[in-house]
Amino acid sequence: MSHVVIRGIPFATRLRAAKGGAKELLERDRARAQKFLASKSHHAFVAAKAKHASGTGAESSIDVTDSGVTYTMQVGVGSPATDYTLLIDTGSSNTWIGADLPYKPTSTSHNTGNTINVSYGSGSMSGKEYTDTVTLGPDLVIKNQGIGVASSAQGFEGVDGILGVGPVDLTRGTVSNTTDVPTVTDNLYAQGTISSNSLGISYEPSSTANVSNGELTFGGTDSTKYTGTLNTVPLTTTSPASAYWGINQSVSYGTSQTILNTTAGIVDTGTTLLLLATEAFQAYQKATGAVEDSTTGLLTITSAQYAELQSLYFNIGGVTYEFTPNAQIWPRGLNSILGGNEGQIYLIASDLGSNVGSGLDFINGFGWIQRYYTVFDTGNKQLGLATTAYTDADTN
């Protein structure tokens, strides 16, 4: 069976200025990181089960939303379907609607009688669980998908909810009388719609706002979106990174200075910046000569320093991935999103806010994923990475 690709308009990059500019964006990225670090899940990543069993658990708490950069897609629910605009998030796993556009039950809707309650730090949702037909695309129709229908939702302005495509374990304890809730990818695979339980994500760097430049591939990869070899690396067993899409990596500045020895962290679509454990961040700041900008809270460098900026090298599974000087800076055409100055150069690396050895020492966020094709492979418990036409681009 061939995989199915969602192209173009259904997957849009939405850039919006947070009220507090970059400082608010940075605070939310760090708050999200602290939720990850505080995860009580000690489960290593496991392949998803096709169906769930009964049980109870504590509330799940993961922060996902309202950064300055979000990725959304149109998702149909019901038959006939109502389209909802949902955030795509690899750091959470519940799919839910009702933050803005209300749910419209149809003949395919079934109220399970269970309640759902998920806290996202700076936001939250609570409501009822339904099963319903969920349509991601013409060939991606899921029957009896468990979804949350919010009776209360805070922190989700401008969107209707979340499309959670993280590890299924993250749904534990979020729905009453339920052990876990299979994700949309899990169910596409279990129902035979896709041939592998995996999700390929292509982002492209952009210097303009509100562009449709992303692609999701359910059940495979799109070879037109990457160059060279697609490398795979096992997911980490180190907690708490193991509860998410966690891997082991080291980071060097230039070819001779290691700023982060091999350690566990995560790859995450819901984080905007590249976050590094405090010691690694401090080493990076010293090496670059960057100073913290009082307006944005981000590191900033001069044009002369940018001319001397070295690449970062990420060693993942024995393969080295170069993160060029241009990849390390915020798109200068989008400085207004940050509340920053026109023409100023801001770096996207920031302080994770915790020391090395915490079990989650980095987050490779959207700025990193824009440069590498990424495959979230549940079935094989691994992450796939490949260079793209944009890995070395000077778009920023």
Using the structure block, give the residue that is written with the tokens 């269970």: 114
Length of the chain: 396
Find the catalytic residue in 29, 66, 89, 160. Answer: 89
Beta strand spans in 165-289 (E): 198-202, 215-218, 227-234, 246-253, 257-267, 274-276
Structure tokens belonging to residue 88: 């795509």
160: annotated active-site residue: no
CA 79 to CA 283: how far, in whole Å?
A: 55
Structure tokens belonging to residue 105: 């039950």
Q: Are 171 and 94 in contact (CB under 8 A)?
A: yes
Cβ-based neighbour number of residue 343 at 10 Å? 8
Structure tokens belonging to residue 60: 């799940």
CA 186 to CA 204: how far, in whole Å?
A: 26
Find the catalytic residue in 29, 180, 268, 351. Answer: 268
Q: Which residues contact 355 (CB under 8 A, 6 or more apart)?
A: 277, 278, 279
Closest-CA residue to 116 (of 130, 99, 101)? 130
CA 28 to CA 24: how far, in whole Å?
A: 6
CA 210 to CA 12: how far, in whole Å?
A: 7
Facing residues of 60 across strands? 118
CA 24 to CA 21: how far, in whole Å?
A: 6
132: annotated active-site residue: no
C-alpha distances in Å from residue 392, one per residue of 209, 311, 325, 376: 21, 11, 9, 23
Closest-CA residue to 68 (of 165, 161, 158)? 158
CA 322 to CA 239: how far, in whole Å?
A: 27
C-alpha distances in Å from residue 190, one per residue of 45, 166, 198, 329, 351: 18, 16, 12, 41, 40
- Enumerate the active-site residues: 89, 268
